[in-house]
Amino acid sequence: MKLYYFSEMPHHEFPDAEGDKYPSLRLAFPNTFFSPEIAHRNYQRYLDEYDFADQAGFDGLMINEHHSTPSCVNVSANMTTGILARTTKRAKLLILGNILPIQENPIQVAEQVAMADLISGGRVLSGFVRGVGVESWWANTNPVHNRERFEECHDLIIKCWTTPGPFRWEGRHYHFRHVNPWCLPLQKPYPPIWVPGTASPETAVWAGRMGYTYVPFLVSFEVARELFDFYRQGAAEAGRTVTPDKLGFLICAVTADSKAKALQAGRNFVWRMGPTLRGPLEYFSPVGMRSRAASQFALKARSVSLSKMSYEELVENYYIVAGTPDEVVDRFARVQKELGIGHLLLEAQESRMDHATTMRSIELMGKSVIPAMTRI
């Protein structure tokens, strides 16, 4: 099983009591609490940690993007990937991902991913996501078009990578008269496509139909298995066989020299389970963004909100793994056994987890956990 290192690049250097005054940390919490000086240091630090994860032997580095939130100030997955394409040597660069429905120019996305793939020597894994509702507000993109735009944007990007230009694109949401990108991926026909999921059965079916790697984020084993069933349904429709290499899973994880230290560090993940997801439903799932089926599935998938779970429950139920390297190996093996996955994505830094703790965790993962994973 392959392991991936991931940091959301948080900016949690403000008093929590200030954040509590607003309906949500997303969209509503004023950016007067953003500190350019701190962010400057943080970016250097987070990029150093990514570089170290590459050196430590992680199979991949996962890079994401959010907007209008201190929980993730990585505001351009492609920019970060471009940097890491140059500073890292061997790990795959998993962009998970470009938020397709909010893109105004899919050709630019095709170009930027291609450029990162070229700089990195063909190490890019190109994830495509629908985004949470906050991103639709940020971009002011009509949420009722979210799925249509996701699929059309995807189709145009793939066409950019597979059809010689120039050509014309006249879709419903995108219109380009002269498409001829002079930047194409090194990997042929194009970088592997990945798709995450939290609740949408349609996305799982679609990913299966397309043969893309599918990764549920922070859900229970039971829900992940249901989503994988939808994925297999789509794969079967297209006559595809599902191998572990097509299935991934994302959890939070940290290791340390002692269990006590690891459990202490792991508490930093609680912030992303509750406070950063707090807010009106309209922020996260604006009208029309989710289908009825997805809304119903989301209710079931989150019958108990992560924010309502204690730290101990989050650890018990594998949302967070925190322990010595040996314990972490055992927990990861259990995840693999439960889900039959080929990729485990680790959100491995969060909230106020300090640099030294993060680096030690990466180091121990490299020395003891990653080698053990090759046997799983």
Partner 1 sequence: MPPREEVIVVGNTKVHLLIGGQGDPLLVLHGAGGNRGWRRWMAAVGEHYTVYAPTHPGFGRSDAADWMESIDDLARFYLWFLDVMGLSKVHLLGHSIGGWTAAELATMRPGVIDRLVLVSPTGLKPDEGEIRDIFFYPPEELLEYTVHDPTTVPEWAELFGGKPGLEEIEGALRNREMAARLTWKPYMFNPRLAHFLPRVQNPTLIVWGREDQIVPLICGEQYRRLLPNATLRVLERCGHLPPIERPDVFANLVLDFLRRA
Residues that bind partner 1 (CB under 8 A): 137, 140, 142-144, 280-283, 286-288
The least CB distance from residue 99 to partner 1, in Å, is 17
The least CB distance from residue 69 to partner 1, in Å, is 16
Nearer to partner 1, 35 or 142 (CB): 142
The least CB distance from residue 344 to partner 1, in Å, is 37
Nearer to partner 1, 140 or 303 (CB): 140
β-pair partners for 3? 344
Q: How far apart are CA 224 and CA 118, in angstroms?
A: 34
Strands 193-197 and 60-63, bridge-based pairing: unpaired
The least CB distance from residue 97 to partner 1, in Å, is 24
Percentages helix, strand, coil for the chain (3-state, rounded to 5) are: 50, 15, 35
Residues 6+ apart with CB under 8 A from 246: 211, 212, 213, 214, 231, 235, 342
Strands 167-170 and 175-179, bridge-based pairing: antiparallel
**CA-wise closest residue to 134 among 23, 17, 271:** 23
Order of strands across the sheet that contains 193-197: 213-216, 193-197, 124-129, 92-99, 60-63, 2-7, 343-349, 248-255, 320-323
Nearer to partner 1, 238 or 287 (CB): 287
The least CB distance from residue 286 to partner 1, in Å, is 6
β-pair partners for 170? 175
**CA-wise closest residue to 196 among 251, 159, 141, 243:** 251
Whole-Å CA distances, 131 to 17, 143, 212, 264: 28, 10, 17, 31
The least CB distance from residue 336 to partner 1, in Å, is 40
Nearer to partner 1, 287 or 293 (CB): 287
The least CB distance from residue 134 to partner 1, in Å, is 12
